[in-house]
């Protein structure tokens, strides 16, 4: 189905300097993590980090309860939950929002990467077990980020006035959105199969968290994925001490800000720590807690607490508290025996800001593992690339730059730069003569020189326009390639929904992804999947 080609990350030009320096283990970044993603470092990590602070029975009990919320948790996933009772079992985790229909492709790639990293680790450490975990960001309240998906360039959107943690949103009304997607995907066997899956997920479950759990189980359950919802009273009981330290001592903000200042010597900051990095959460509400005077106020509400009242909430109903982007990683590592976090460039960048905080809390920072970055090229696009004599590396270039380079390959006998150089040389001689006769004429001569050079530039632009018109068909093909691989100037994996590919290949799309997105623990590259 696919032919895989790997290319160096650097050739794509897609990544920030911080992420690139992390991948290459630059000395500028080494202070901000412990171990890197190599076989040697995974060995060292497991030797020195015993996760003695874990409450494995409580974790297993909570995961068992969560797995029973839907009917399709597989036997392998349930067996993986049981494995977590053993001290020789570790997790590899990725986290993501509860995007409609899974949102952009990289949602799928992140989970596939997590599962395949577990396979690679099991191969290298057969005496240990590794469980892939998808952490559902069910407490996130930014509905606008998750309420849509793009398929074949068309946007489907779920309009809802609900507020608060999105995992608790009612799925009522989603049938209309599914029907709209069905129209876009077309009426064929594979599309209808996927639409039926979406209907089972979204219309048979009352909230978005359960619907997403069901959907991910259907796509990845056969590989033993364990799905964890942090919005869980029993799990938050395990994080009470950290809630208290953040709220009453404000140490998280101090520690992360210290690291950010060190990183800012060379890079931009990724997160903005607050004095209190905790939200207060009820049905339909998730708002930041802020200390004002002696009281703890829930912003944008009339709710406020004394220190004793808030301490009582932490002790008795910690599910009413929700960690923000600073505390969520700490929460994850406090409850899971997690040795690696699989994420994209932005995620890895903000995890690098947390090392000092993790050290202070005496919680193990995971190895930060980049997810697979993938570009899928269908047969039609491959034919266009081949016809235009472009390389895979070429398609990552800026569109205008690519068009300009292409025109030069078609008309390499045009070279007005030489004319500009000759003109400059001629005027240099004229200036020398003028300067010797009357220096007041130098300014006039310089102006005439610039006017002449500008004239050449104008001619050059007109020639390029004429050449573009002659090559209009080929240039349109270049822009078609760019739009296919970078829709709306965005990498395909951050825009397109997997339904486009499932409607063509069916479940084999997932199967083949799992076969191709393997990990080499000593080398990391960008993956190109060409349709056969």
Spans of all domains in the chain: 2-237+326-378+493-531, 278-323, 379-485
Per-residue model confidence as pLDDT tens digits over 225-240: 999 999 999 999 999 9
pLDDT, average across residues 371-376? 97
The pLDDT of 190-208, averaged and rounded, is 97
pLDDT of residue 415: 60
CA–CA separation, 34 and 364 (whole Å): 10
Whole-number pLDDT of residue 169: 97
What DSSP assignment string belongs to 179-213?
HHHHHHH-SSHHHHHHHHHHHHHHHSSSBHHHHHH
- The proportion of the chain whose per-residue pLDDT surpasses 90, expressed as a percent, equals 84
Chain segment 472-485, per-residue pLDDT in tens: 888 899 999 999 99
Task: Kindly state the average pLDDT of the residues 351-368.
Answer: 96
Q: What is the DSSP letter of 529?
A: E
Q: What is the pLDDT of residue 446?
A: 83
Q: What is the pLDDT of residues 52-78, one digit of tens each?
A: 999 999 999 999 999 999 999 999 999
pLDDT for residue 445: 79
Judged against a pLDDT cut of 90, whether residue 430 lies above it is answered with: no
Confidence grade of residue 224 (pLDDT, cut at 50, 70, 90) = very high
**Does residue 102 come out as left (phi exceeding 0), alpha (psi in the -120 to 50 range) or beta?**
left
Whether pLDDT at 409 is above 80: no
More confident residue, 17 or 523: 17
Are 125 and 46 in contact, with CB atoms under 8 Å apart? yes
What are the phi and psi torsion angles at 424 (to 5°)?
-60, -40
pLDDT exceeds cutoff 60 at 412:
no
Residue 329 has a pLDDT of 97
252 pLDDT higher than 60: yes
Tens-place pLDDT, residues 115-158: 999 999 999 999 999 999 999 999 999 999 999 999 999 999 99
pLDDT of residue 395: 96
Highest mean pLDDT: which range of 407-411, 437-441, 467-471: 437-441
- The band of 449, judged by pLDDT with boundaries at 50, 70 and 90, is confident
Q: How far apart are CA 321 and CA 313, in angstroms?
A: 8
Asked if 2 contacts 505 with a C-beta cutoff of 8 angstroms, the reply is no
Quote the radius of gyration of the chain (alpha carbons, Å).
Answer: 28
Which of 111-120, 128-137, 318-327, 416-425 is predicted least confidently? 416-425
Whether the CA torsion 24, 367, 165, 282 is positive or negative: it is negative
Q: What percent of the chain has pLDDT over 70?
A: 99
Mean predicted lDDT score pLDDT of the chain = 94
Which DSSP helix (H) or strand (E) runs through 99? none
Question: Is residue 148 within a helix (H) or strand (E), and if so which, with residue range?
Answer: strand 148-151
What pLDDT does residue 411 have? 64
Structure tokens at 287: 């708002």
pLDDT for 521 equals 84
Q: What is the pLDDT of residue 414?
A: 58
> Tokens 């994420």 correspond to what residue?
343
**How are the residues of the chain apportioned to helix, strand and coil, as percentages rounded to the nearest 5?**
55, 15, 30
Residue 470 has pLDDT above 80, yes or no: no
User: Model confidence at 394, in pLDDT bands (50, 70, 90)?
Assistant: very high
Q: What pLDDT, on the 0 to 100 scale, is given for residue 38?
A: 93
In this prediction the pTM is: 0.89
Q: Please work out, in degrees rounded to the nearest 5, the angle formed at the alpha carbon of residue 440 by the alpha carbons of 436 and 443.
A: 100
């Amino acid at each position: 189905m696919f032919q895989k080609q790997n290319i160096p990350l650097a050739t794509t030009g897609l990544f920030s300097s911080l992420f690139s320096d992390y991948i290459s283990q630059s000395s500028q970044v080494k202070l901000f993590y412990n171990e890197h993603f190599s076989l040697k470092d995974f060995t060292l990590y497991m030797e020195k980090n015993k996760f003695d602070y874990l409450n494995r029975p409580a974790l297993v009990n909570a995961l068992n309860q969560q797995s029973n919320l839907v009917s399709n948790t597989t036997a392998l996933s349930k067996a993986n939950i049981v494995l977590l009772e053993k001290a020789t079992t570790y997790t590899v985790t990725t986290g993501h929002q509860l995007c409609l229909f899974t949102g952009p492709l990289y949602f799928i790639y992140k989970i596939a990467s997590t599962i395949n990293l577990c396979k690679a680790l099991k191969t290298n450490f057969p005496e240990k077990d590794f469980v892939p975990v998808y952490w559902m960001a069910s407490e996130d309240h930014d509905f606008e980020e998750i309420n849509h998906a793009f398929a074949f360039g068309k946007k489907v959107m779920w309009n809802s006035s609900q507020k608060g943690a999105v995992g608790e949103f009612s799925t009522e009304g989603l049938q209309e959105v599914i029907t709209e997607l069905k129209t876009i995907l077309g009426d064929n066997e594979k599309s209808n199969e996927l639409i039926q899956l979406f209907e089972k997920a979204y219309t048979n479950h009352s909230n978005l968290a359960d619907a997403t759990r069901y959907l991910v189980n259907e796509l990845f359950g056969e590989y033993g994925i364990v799905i964890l919802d942090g919005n869980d009273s029993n799990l938050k009981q395990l994080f009470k001490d950290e809630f208290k330290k953040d709220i009453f001592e404000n140490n998280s903000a101090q520690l992360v800000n210290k690291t950010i200042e060190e990183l800012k010597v060379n890079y931009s900051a990724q997160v903005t720590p607050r004095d209190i990095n905790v939200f207060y959460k009820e049905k339909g509400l998730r708002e930041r807690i802020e200390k004002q005077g002696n009281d703890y106020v829930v912003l944008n509400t009339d709710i406020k607490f004394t220190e004793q009242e808030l301490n009582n909430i932490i002790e008795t109903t910690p599910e009413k508290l929700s960690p923000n982007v600073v505390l969520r990683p700490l929460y994850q590592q406090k409850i899971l025996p997690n040795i690696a976090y699989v994420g994209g460039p932005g995620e890895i960048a903000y995890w690098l800001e947390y090392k000092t905080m993790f050290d202070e809390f005496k919680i193990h920072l995971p190895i930060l593992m980049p997810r697979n970055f993938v570009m899928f090229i269908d047969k039609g696009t491959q034919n266009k690339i081949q016809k235009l004599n472009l390389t895979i590396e070429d398609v990552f270039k800026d569109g205008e730059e690519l068009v300009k380079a292409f025109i030069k390959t078609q008309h390499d006998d045009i070279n007005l730069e030489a004319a500009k150089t000759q003109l400059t040389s001629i005027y240099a001689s004229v200036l020398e003569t003028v300067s010797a006769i009357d220096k007041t004429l130098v300014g006039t001569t310089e102006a005439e020189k610039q006017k002449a050079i500008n004239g050449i530039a104008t001619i050059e632009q007109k020639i390029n326009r004429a050449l573009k018109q002659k090559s209009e068909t080929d240039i349109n093909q270049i822009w078609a390639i760019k739009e296919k691989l970078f829709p709306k100037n965005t990498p395909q994996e951050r825009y397109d929904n997997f339904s486009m590919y499932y409607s063509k290949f069916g479940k084999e799309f997932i199967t083949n992804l799992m076969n191709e997105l393997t990990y080499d623990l000593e080398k990391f590259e960008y993956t190109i999947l060409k349709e056969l």
